């Protein structure tokens, strides 16, 4: 009879108590999976959506543009750099863009806003939120035409519709005020009021001419990557490219600090919730193990009397905690699996409460509560709960080996 | 382990041992200047009324308790020089314990209870098996190896406890009121068994008891009163 087998039998002496404790661990797994899974899903969605709003997961831009985004700062020879970036593993898209402020004017009204000048040949619905949010009309087909796609709220404010002309006015590379005329080819509705109220897509060729940019000059190369968690790694890879010597390469956290702040704050709240859940579980395990140790004081005295050392006794109780943790985690996996399947495939629809255009941190949040766990998160949940269970067993184990055998034998 | 071996034939020797407990504000001398030697092959009984100090003496010999003053040697080792882990080693390798309430481990079978100390000694399963089976047979438990304590009578449980105590071939078996929880018929059969083990295998037994059955069988009777040995009589 080795220590493992003895510990295994010991935890089943009081089946009900062991099962209740194991279920509390299992419940902890379920809660952690729900919290972490929803975090992994929501944050990834928010980051990907933020990336598709113009700047990508990784942004290549002129040095200092991030702090003062004026159009006199520009990237040159973007074609070479763009080709090098596209060739990097992990990059799903890279688009050359010009972003800037502009005044949009219709026959009836003028509104301040912002534009993203794009090459329609490189833009897809996956990497451009505005494009996939077009509700009327189409994206202009030529990079040098006079098309424009504007937000629905902006269209409403300007009292314009598809086919109507608007004038946009901005400052060029030399700081001079310049303007051009464009005809509305499409209208988008992202659901984010600010975006729908000020943003417009313009053809990059036309904007380059208006701003007196050379054909391969732009302000931004927005890099969309396959997994947002690798943004830092991709930033370093891009920064190491030979054509990226005199440019700034930023991750979405730098390019979109508001979004990064919101996510960091939300994550902190999530961690605190999980810590408190963990604490409750640990107290439950501690209680079980302590009860189990206290009611066996005499038995431990006998074990020590026949030669078991306090160290081995400590180990025995720790192995019991180990088995309790294993049983709890297995139960947790069993009860969490169907719940996770439901959250993964269906989720809980909160659109009735929040509507379909609930935005947070400047990006649209899916009103359906879903969960997607990263592999690392699964390991972290199981690992941390396992360690927690072992830590909760430390005090009872220490206590078991501490009572002198002669005292233990006196207990009934 | 620091073993301060003594040039002696004694299995146990106590020299001027005092054990004082604090009860409230009063010091109680549970063991008071006791000097005692137990010879190899002894079948000795510590007799006396409740609270006379029998169990305290047994605990001191068994290394379960430490004396306030004086020294205890077991199999030539001065227990006062040992730390807790070393005391565990002495108990594991040189002392067998039989308790009044059997004190078997309830989740283990008769076989596993007897095997328990051998496992602690780190012996292989094969070594354990042969010895445990032979020991269980010698205490009359052949065929009951797979029974758990709650599936056995008090007498059978005490036999398992005796098997656990002798399976490692200890220098001495300390038995604290071993017949107190069983009926007189069972007590007689347990005493037959222990007497047989003493006679045939030369195992040294030291009992604490006030059971006349045990006293009648003992080869040596040590009377204890108020923590002192008042008489020590060999009956050979």
The predicted-structure confidence for A59-75, as pLDDT tens digits, reads as follows 999 998 888 888 888 89
A333-338 — which CB contacts under 8 Å span 24+ positions? A333/A26, A333/A29, A334/A26, A335/A23, A335/A26, A335/A27, A335/A29, A335/A30, A336/A26, A336/A29, A336/A30, A336/A33
Q: What percent of chain A has pLDDT over 90?
A: 48
Q: What percent of chain B has pLDDT over 90?
A: 31
Segment among A137-141, B3-7, B99-103 with least mean pLDDT? B3-7
Within-domain flag for B55: yes
B42 CB within 8 Å of a chain A CB: no
The mean pLDDT of B115-122, rounded to a whole number, is 89
pLDDT one-digit tens code per residue, A96-111 = 999 999 999 998 899 9
A298 CB within 8 Å of a chain B CB: yes
User: How far apart are the C-alpha atoms of B222 and B69, rounded to whole Å?
Assistant: 21
Give the chain B residue whose CA is nearest to the CA of A408.
B64
pLDDT one-digit tens code per residue, A248-292 = 999 999 888 888 999 999 889 988 988 888 888 888 888 888 888
Q: Is A58 helix (H, G, I), strand (E, B) or coil?
A: strand
pLDDT for the residue numbered B5: 40
Indicate the pLDDT class of residue A151, thresholds 50, 70 and 90. very high
pLDDT for the residue numbered B7: 43
- Domain ranges in chain A are 3-48+260-408, 70-218
Within-domain flag for B145: yes
At A391, list the tokens. Answer: 């830590």
> Would the pLDDT of A168 be above 90?
yes
User: How far apart are the C-alpha atoms of B213 and B45, rounded to whole Å?
Assistant: 11
| B contact test, residue of A14, A305, A316 with most B CBs within 10 A | A305
pLDDT for the residue numbered A411: 60
User: How far apart are the C-alpha atoms of B175 and B203, rounded to whole Å?
Assistant: 12
Looking at residue B68, the DSSP 8-state letter turns out to be: S
> Would the pLDDT of A48 be above 80?
yes
Within-domain flag for B12: no
Within-domain flag for B116: yes
How many distinct structural domains can be found in chain B? 1
Indicate the pLDDT class of residue B102, thresholds 50, 70 and 90. confident
The mean pLDDT of A180-184, rounded to a whole number, is 94
Distances in Å between the Cα of B87 and the Cα atoms of A308, A405, A409, B63 are: 10, 11, 16, 6
Indicate the pLDDT class of residue B3, thresholds 50, 70 and 90. very low
At A231, list the tokens. Answer: 């943004």
pLDDT for the residue numbered B236: 63
From chain B residues 164-193, the ones with a CB under 8 A of any chain A CB are 164-165
- The residue with greater pLDDT, A359 or A384, is A384
| Nearest-CA distance B219 → chain A (Å) | 26
| Nearest-CA distance A34 → chain B (Å) | 38
Does the distance separating the beta carbons of A1 and B120 come in below 8 Å?
A: no
Indicate the pLDDT class of residue A341, thresholds 50, 70 and 90. very high
pLDDT one-digit tens code per residue, B177-192 = 888 877 888 888 888 8
The mean pLDDT of A43-54, rounded to a whole number, is 87
Q: What percent of chain B has pLDDT over 70?
A: 96
Q: Which residue, A123, A113, A125, A114, is CA-closest to A222?
A: A123
Within-domain flag for B73: no
The mean pLDDT of A209-217, rounded to a whole number, is 91
From chain A residues 211-230, the ones with a CB under 8 A of any chain B CB are none
Segment among A163-172, B70-79, B87-96, B187-196 with least mean pLDDT? B187-196
pLDDT for the residue numbered B108: 92
The mean pLDDT of A319-331, rounded to a whole number, is 92
The mean pLDDT of A5-21, rounded to a whole number, is 90
| Nearest-CA distance A301 → chain B (Å) | 9
Average pLDDT, rounded, for chain A: 89
Report the relative pairing of strands B69-74 and B10-23 from DSSP bridges.
antiparallel
Global confidence as pTM:
0.79
Within-domain flag for B31: no
The predicted complex's ipTM stands at 0.85
| A contact test, residue of B1, B63, B86, B88 with most A CBs within 10 A | B88
pLDDT for the residue numbered B149: 93
Within-domain flag for B214: yes
Q: Is A178 helix (H, G, I), strand (E, B) or coil?
A: strand
Please list every residue in chain B whose beta carbon sits closer than 8 Å to the beta carbon of residue A405.
64
Please list every residue in chain A whose beta carbon sits closer than 8 Å to the beta carbon of residue B65.
404, 406
Expressed as residue numbers, the domain containing B155 is: 43-63+84-234
Average pLDDT, rounded, for chain B: 87
Residues 6+ apart with CB under 8 A from A164: A106, A183, A184
pLDDT for the residue numbered B6: 45
The mean pLDDT of A216-229, rounded to a whole number, is 92
CATH code (residue B95):
3.40.50.300
| Nearest-CA distance B216 → chain A (Å) | 28
pLDDT for the residue numbered A85: 94
């Amino acid at each position: 009879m080795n220590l493992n087998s003895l510990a295994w039998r010991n935890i089943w002496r009081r089946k009900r108590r062991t099962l209740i404790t194991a279920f509390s661990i299992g419940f902890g797994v379920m809660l952690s999976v729900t919290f972490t899974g929803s975090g992994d899903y929501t944050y990834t969605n928010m980051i990907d959506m933020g990336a598709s709003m113009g700047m990508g997961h990784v942004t290549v831009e002129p040095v200092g543009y991030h702090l003062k985004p004026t159009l006199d700062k520009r990237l040159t020879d973007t074609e070479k750099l763009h080709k090098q970036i596209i060739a990097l593993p992990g990059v799903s898209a890279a688009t050359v863009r010009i972003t800037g402020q502009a005044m949009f004017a219709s026959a009836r009204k003028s509104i301040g806003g912002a534009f993203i000048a794009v090459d329609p040949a490189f833009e897809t619905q996956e990497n451009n939120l505005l494009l996939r949010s077009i509700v009327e009309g189409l994206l202009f087909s030529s990079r040098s035409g006079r098309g424009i796609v504007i937000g629905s709220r902006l269209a409403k404010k300007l009292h314009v519709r598809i086919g109507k002309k608007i004038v946009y006015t901005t400052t060029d590379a030399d700081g001079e005020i310049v303007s051009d005329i464009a005809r509305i080819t499409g209208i988008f509705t992202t659901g984010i009021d600010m975006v729908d109220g000020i943003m417009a897509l313009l053809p990059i060729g036309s904007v380059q001419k208006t701003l007196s940019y050379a054909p391969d000059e732009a302000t931004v190369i927005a890099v969309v990557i396959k997994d947002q968690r690798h943004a830092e790694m991709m930033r370093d890879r891009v920064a190491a490219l030979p054509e990226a010597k005199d440019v700034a390469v930023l991750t979405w956290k730098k390019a979109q600090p508001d979004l990064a702040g919101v996510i960091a704050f939300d994550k902190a709240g999530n961690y605190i919730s999980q810590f408190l859940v963990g604490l409750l579980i640990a107290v439950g395990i501690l209680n079980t193990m302590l009860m189990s140790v206290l009611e066996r004081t005499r038995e431990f005295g006998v074990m020590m009397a026949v030669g078991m050392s306090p160290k081995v006794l400590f180990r025995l109780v720790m192995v019991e905690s180990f088995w309790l943790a294993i049983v709890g985690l297995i139960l947790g996996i069993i009860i969490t699996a169907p719940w996770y399947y439901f959250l993964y495939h269906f989720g809980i629809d909160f659109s009735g409460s929040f509507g379909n255009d609930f935005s947070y941190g400047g990006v649209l949040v899916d009103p359906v509560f879903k969960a997607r766990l990263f592999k690392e998160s699964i390991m972290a949940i199981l690992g941390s709960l396992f360690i927690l269970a072992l830590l909760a067993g430390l005090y009872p184990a220490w206590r078991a080996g501490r009572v002198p055998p002669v005292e233990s034998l006196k207990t009934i | 382990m620091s073993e301060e071996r003594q040039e002696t034939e004694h299995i146990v020797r106590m020299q001027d041992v005092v054990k004082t407990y604090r009860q409230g504000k009063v010091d109680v001398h549970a063991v008071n200047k006791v000097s005692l030697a137990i010879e190899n092959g002894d079948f000795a009984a510590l007799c006396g009324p409740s609270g006379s100090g029998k169990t305290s003496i047994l605990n001191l010999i068994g290394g379960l308790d430490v004396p306030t003053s004086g020294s205890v040697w077991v199999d030539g080792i001065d227990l006062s020089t040992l730390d807790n882990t070393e005391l565990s080693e002495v108990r594991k390798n040189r002392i067998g314990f039989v308790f009044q309430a059997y004190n078997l481990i309830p989740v283990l079978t008769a076989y596993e209870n007897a095997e328990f100390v051998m496992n602690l000694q780190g012996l292989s399963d094969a070594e354990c098996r042969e010895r445990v089976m032979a020991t269980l047979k010698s205490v009359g438990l052949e065929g009951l190896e797979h029974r758990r304590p709650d599936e056995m009578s008090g007498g059978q449980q005490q036999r398992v406890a005796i098997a656990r105590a002798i399976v490692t071939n200890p220098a001495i078996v300390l038995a604290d009121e071993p017949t107190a929880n069983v009926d007189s018929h069972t007590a007689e059969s347990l005493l037959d068994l222990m007497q047989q083990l003493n006679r045939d295998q030369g195992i040294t037994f030291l009992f604490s008891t006030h059971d006349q059955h045990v006293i009648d069988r003992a080869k040596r009777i040590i009377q204890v009163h108020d923590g002192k040995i008042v008489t020590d009589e060999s009956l050979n």
